């Protein structure tokens, strides 16, 4: 069994704009390989996924599973029987429990449908998940959700499983579990993992890198990278790598007045206490980090929302510029944010339908040559990593005194990550305060304090 991608092109065409996302991509994958596809933001990875899963039709080129051209298979049939997929949010139905989601998935497998209930119990047991059987997807950790999504995705015995950034939101331990499950699936299903997560190296037997819509390098586990020169003789220039950003830490005197203080914060999502007795102060020029390499659900995102004044802690107070935000009404809080605080939630703020130009407004941001000229494109037309970068650079350019950032760079490739970190270091140099959750080693290293929750 194999999947063959031949000279694939995809062009997005909207109104005035044409974006060539794939330009002559060739790729063969055999059963038994655990393939990882890497590549910078906007290189065409998700576009390839949409074509493999039949959500979009190639502008040119073909995809074959064994010898069948997938354009001849009805897209619904294709996704039911041939190509299963999951994305970074998993693929479970919110209104169904774990057991019901799996049973539904098995009921779609014609040879197992009559025994779907029994098989579901068996699978839950085999994977030590029985304790989660009656939970709804919202009641699972991100890692558990992805795990169950993967099991549901392969319930129909698909020939191919495509996972687009499945570990994006997971801590190290969670990612490891997903990679080992993917690895165990490789023997029966062609697994194609799309990611920019270097942790995927332990899973992959072969890795290919996409750049500008074509395969640019490939290598097998333990080998050095090899450039791929295709039949058109397109030699690729090596990717520009940036130096690892360095921050010169300055000791900031305790005598400097804090611009943000957290006093005795406690948060409970009943019946569970999330954190308590959280105390810290942030001064201009400081970087305070919440370490996301640690297990999720310790309340990092909740803490950032509390600091922004969008929600209140159960106990304790937050002072911004000496003023307790607990005592302010909504309007006053919004005013305070406008003057002093920028908050960037994990999934960003930007609306899909407004254009890049409208979103940036009068804020001056240099997004580089590939994006600067796309100001009339709606934000929904940019890749996840491109959007994350646009939002972060805008917020930094607005230069309010406090930045609250929830995993702002986790979607960016290595080069963009380094650029973003440079920009953050510049902001700190200019006396800004950054409080952020991150699993980036450079930032954790550069932090003045790590805030511990618990
Ligand atoms: P990746 O997943 O590798 O980050 P994508 O496949 O999402 O990249 O995007 C490839 C290119 O296509 C990018 O330049 C992106 O901005 C562009 N693109 C993605 N979706 C659309 C769309 N709906 N309309 C126009 N351009 C798009
Ligand atoms: Mg993508």
Q: Relative to the CA of 380, which ligand 1 atom is closest?
A: 23
Ligand 1 centre from 292 Cα, in Å? 28
pLDDT at res. 233 = 44
The per-residue pLDDT for 240 is: 54
Does residue 249 sit in helix, strand or coil? coil
Give the mean pLDDT of 13-29: 87
Q: What is the mean pLDDT of residues 6-35?
A: 90
Three-class DSSP category at 280 = strand
Residues with CB under 6 A from ligand 1: 12, 14, 19, 21, 39, 41-47, 381-383, 385-386
Tokens encoding 266: 């406690």
From the CA of 44, give the closest atom in ligand 1. 6
- Distances in Å between the alpha carbon of 233 and those of 8, 51, 228, 328, 441? 16, 25, 9, 65, 38
CB 353 within 8 A of CB 387: no
| Spacing, Cα 87 to ligand 2 middle (Å) | 9
CB neighbour list of residue 356: distance below 8 Å, 6 or more residues apart = 371, 374, 375, 376, 377, 378, 379, 382, 390
Nearest ligand, CA 379: 1
DSSP code of residue 352:
S
CA of 34 to the centre of ligand 1 (A): 25
Mean pLDDT value across the chain: 91
Reply yes or no: is the peptide bond before residue 320 cis, omega within 30 of 0: no
Q: Residue 60: in which H helix or E strand, if any?
A: strand 60-65
Distance 382 CA to ligand 1 centre (A): 5
pLDDT in tens, 92-120: 999 999 999 999 999 999 899 999 999 99
Partners of 324 in beta bridges: 319
The 10s digit of each residue's pLDDT in 409-425 is 988 888 889 999 999 99
What is residue 89's DSSP assignment?
A: T
The CA distance from 19 to 14, in Å, is 9
Task: Report the atom number in ligand 1 closest to the C-alpha of 384.
Answer: 4
Q: What is the residue with the minimal CA distance to atom 7 of ligand 1?
A: 383
Alpha carbon nearest to ligand 1 atom 12, residue: 21
From the CA of 383, the nearest ligand is: 1
For the whole model, what pTM was predicted? 0.74
In tens, the pLDDT along 375-422 reads 999 999 998 889 999 999 999 999 999 999 999 998 888 888 999 999
Starting from the CA of residue 87, give the closest ligand: 2
Q: How far is CA 115 from the centre of its chain?
A: 36
Q: How confident is the model at residue 232 (pLDDT cuts 50, 70, 90)?
A: low
Minimum-distance ligand to the CA of 356? 1
Among 8, 9, 12, 416, name the best residue to mutate to test ligand 1's pocket (greatest count of ligand atoms within 8 A of Cβ). 12
pLDDT score for 238:
47
| Closest atom, ligand 1, to C-alpha of 377 | 25
What's the 129 CA to ligand 1 centre distance in angstroms?
36
Q: Which residues pair with 315 in a beta bridge?
A: 266
The answer to whether 88 and 193 are in contact (CB under 8 A) is no
Domains of the chain: 2-227 (3.40.50.300), 260-451 (3.40.50.300)
Ligand nearest to the CA of 165: 2
Residue 229 has pLDDT above 70, yes or no: no
Ligand 1 centre from 393 Cα, in Å?
A: 19
Give distance in angstroms: CA of 36 to centre of ligand 2. Answer: 13
Q: List the residue whose alpha carbon is closest to atom 22 of ligand 1.
A: 381
DSSP 424-439: HHHHHHTT-EEEEEE-
Ligand 1 atom at shortest distance from the alpha carbon of 213: 10
- Mutation pick for ligand 1 pocket among 21, 48, 193 (CB with most ligand atoms within 8 Å): 21
**Crossing angle (nearest 10°) for helices 414-429 and 384-398:** 10
């Amino acid at each position: 069994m194999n999947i063959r991608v031949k000279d694939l092109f995809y062009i997005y065409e909207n109104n005035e704009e044409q974006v060539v996302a794939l330009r002559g991509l060739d790729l063969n994958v055999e059963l038994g390989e655990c393939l990882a596809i890497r590549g910078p933001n906007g290189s065409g990875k998700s576009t390839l996924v949409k074509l493999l899963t039949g959500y979009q039709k190639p502008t040119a080129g073909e995809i074959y599973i064994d010898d069948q051209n997938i354009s001849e298979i009805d897209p619904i049939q294709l996704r039911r029987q041939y190509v299963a997929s999951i994305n970074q949010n998993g693929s479970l139905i919110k209104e169904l429990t774990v057991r019901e989601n799996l049973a539904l998935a098995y009921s779609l497998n014609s040879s197992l449908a009559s025994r779907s209930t029994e098989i579901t119990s068996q699978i839950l047991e085999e994977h030590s998940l029985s304790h989660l059987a009656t939970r709804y997807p919202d009641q699972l950790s991100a890692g558990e959700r992805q795990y169950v999504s993967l099991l549901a995705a392969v319930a129909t015995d698909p020939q191919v499983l495509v996972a687009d950034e499945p570990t994006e939101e997971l801590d190290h331990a969670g990612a490891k579990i997903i990679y080992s499950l993917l690895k165990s699936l490789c023997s029966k299903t062609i697994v194609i993992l799309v990611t920019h997560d270097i942790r995927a190296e332990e899973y992959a037997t072969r890795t290919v890198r996409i750049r500008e819509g074509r395969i640019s390098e490939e290598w097998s586990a333990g080998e050095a990278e090899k450039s791929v020169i295709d039949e058109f003789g397109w030699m690729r220039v090596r990717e520009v790598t940036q130096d690892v950003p360095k921050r010169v830490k300055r000791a900031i005197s305790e005598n400097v007045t804090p611009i943000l203080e957290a006093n005795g914060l406690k948060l409970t999502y009943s019946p569970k206490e999330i954190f308590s007795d959280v105390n810290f102060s942030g001064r201009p020029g400081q970087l305070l980090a919440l370490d996301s390499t640690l297990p999720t659900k310790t309340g990092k995102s909740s803490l950032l929302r509390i600091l922004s004044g969008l929600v209140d802690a159960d106990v304790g107070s937050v002072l911004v510029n000496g003023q307790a935000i607990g005592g302010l009404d909504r309007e006053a809080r919004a005013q305070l944010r406008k003057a002093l605080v920028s908050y960037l939630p994990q999934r960003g703020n930007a609306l899909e339908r407004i254009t890049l130009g409208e979103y940036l407004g009068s804020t001056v941001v240099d997004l580089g040559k590939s994006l600067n000229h796309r100001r009339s494109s709606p934000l929904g037309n940019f890749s996840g990593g491109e959007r994350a970068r646009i939002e972060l650079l805008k917020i930094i350019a607005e230069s309010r005194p406090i930045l609250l950032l929830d995993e702002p760079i986790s979607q960016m490739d290595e080069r963009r990550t380094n650029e973003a970190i440079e920009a953050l270091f510049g902001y700190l140099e200019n006396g800004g305060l950054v409080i952020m959750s991150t699993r980036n080693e450079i930032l954790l290293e550069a932090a003045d304090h790590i805030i511990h929750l618990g």
